[in-house]
């Protein structure tokens, strides 16, 4: 399964850079059943990484309790216009996706 | 999808080169994911799994969450630590089947802040553990849930 679209917005706040990112993912809990009563298997993002100008600044481990199509906000110290932000994820089936953008 | 032979060969070659360079490691090696803590079924067991069982209560951890969440499938939770030198935050939903929802490491360049949406099966305490200077601190906040978001 290919990964759905990702969106990211990084804006300068007062003294920090606000990074908001939206990931398209089912985040299946492994607790739901389909119409025929079969358990829908666990399928969720496990790792989230935020890089600032190529350097890892936030590393997250995530469970199936995060909502479908996760939205995360992070805050980076300082920052200036044009700084490069990269956010990537990896799910429990090995699918990965990333998005890049500059601070606006 | 159409892809000419030359292009296909080129991308296969590039993939091989990445493998050789060790840039693409197997998933198991790549994913640092704390199986013990995420698989634990109670908040105390999660804290043991994370190695933060001795956390002391702190009012310097700020948890912003709705008092009443109408939809347990999407509960916005914002967590911030005002403890100097905070390097990690873990978010637990105590009454979920697997309480640990996420944990984040903050390196130099990031503030100890995260906002995310979580699923909550029922009314529960949200428990946040912050790590700073090798010590652990904990705070909780109750969120009432009117419609759960875990089952189907």
- Centre a 10 Å sphere on the Cβ of residue B67 and count the other Cβ atoms it contains: 8
**Joined tokens for residue B8:** 């296909």
Contacts of B100 in chain A (CB under 8 A): 63, 65
- Phi, psi at residue B124, to the nearest 5°? -160, 160
Summarize pLDDT for A56-66 with one digit per residue, the tens.
999 999 999 99
Overall domain count for chain A: 1
| Contact call for A60 and B118, based on CB within 8 A | no
| Contact call for B38 and A59, based on CB within 8 A | no
CATH class for the region spanning B33-145: mainly beta
Of B33, B117, B152, the CB nearest to A32: B152
ipTM over 0.90: yes
In a domain, A97, yes or no: yes
Reported pTM: 0.85
Domain containing residue A74: CATH number: 2.60.40.10
| Contact call for A71 and B116, based on CB within 8 A | yes
User: Tens-of-pLDDT digits for all 152 residues of chain B?
Assistant: 455 666 655 555 555 554 444 444 444 445 589 999 999 999 999 999 999 999 999 999 999 999 999 999 999 999 999 999 999 999 999 999 999 999 999 999 999 999 999 999 999 999 999 999 999 999 999 999 987 766 54
Phi-psi region of A27 (alpha: psi -120 to 50; beta: other; left: phi over 0): left
| Contact call for B102 and A76, based on CB within 8 A | no
Q: How many CB pairs under 8 A join A and B?
A: 115
């Amino acid at each position: 399964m290919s990964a759905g679209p990702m969106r990211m917005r990084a804006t300068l706040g007062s003294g920090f850079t606000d990074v908001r990112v939206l990931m398209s993912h089912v985040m299946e809990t492994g607790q739901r059943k389909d119409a025929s009563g079969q358990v829908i298997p666990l399928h969720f993002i496990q790792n989230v990484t935020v890089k600032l100008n190529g350097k890892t600044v936030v590393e997250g481990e995530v469970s199936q309790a995060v909502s479908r199509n996760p939205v995360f906000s992070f805050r980076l110290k300082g920052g200036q216009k044009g700084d490069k932000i990269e956010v990537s994820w990896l799910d429990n089936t090995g699918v990965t996706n990333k998005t890049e953008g500059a601070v606006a | 999808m159409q892809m000419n032979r030359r292009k296909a060969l080129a991308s296969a070659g590039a993939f091989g080169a990445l493998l050789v360079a060790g840039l693409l490691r197997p998933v198991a090696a790549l994913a640092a994911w704390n199986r013990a803590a995420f698989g634990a079924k109670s908040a105390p067991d999660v804290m043991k799994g994370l190695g933060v069982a001795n956390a002391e209560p702190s009012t310097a951890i700020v948890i912003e969450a709705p008092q009443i969440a109408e939809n347990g499938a999407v509960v916005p939770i914002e967590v911030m630590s005002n403890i100097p030198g905070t390097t990690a935050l873990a978010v637990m939903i105590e009454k979920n089947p697997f309480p640990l929802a996420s944990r984040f490491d903050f390196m130099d360049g990031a503030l100890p802040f995260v906002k995310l949406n979580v699923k909550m099966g029922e009314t529960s305490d949200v428990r946040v553990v912050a790590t700073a200077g090798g010590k652990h601190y904990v705070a909780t906040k109750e969120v009432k849930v009117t419609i759960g978001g875990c089952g189907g």
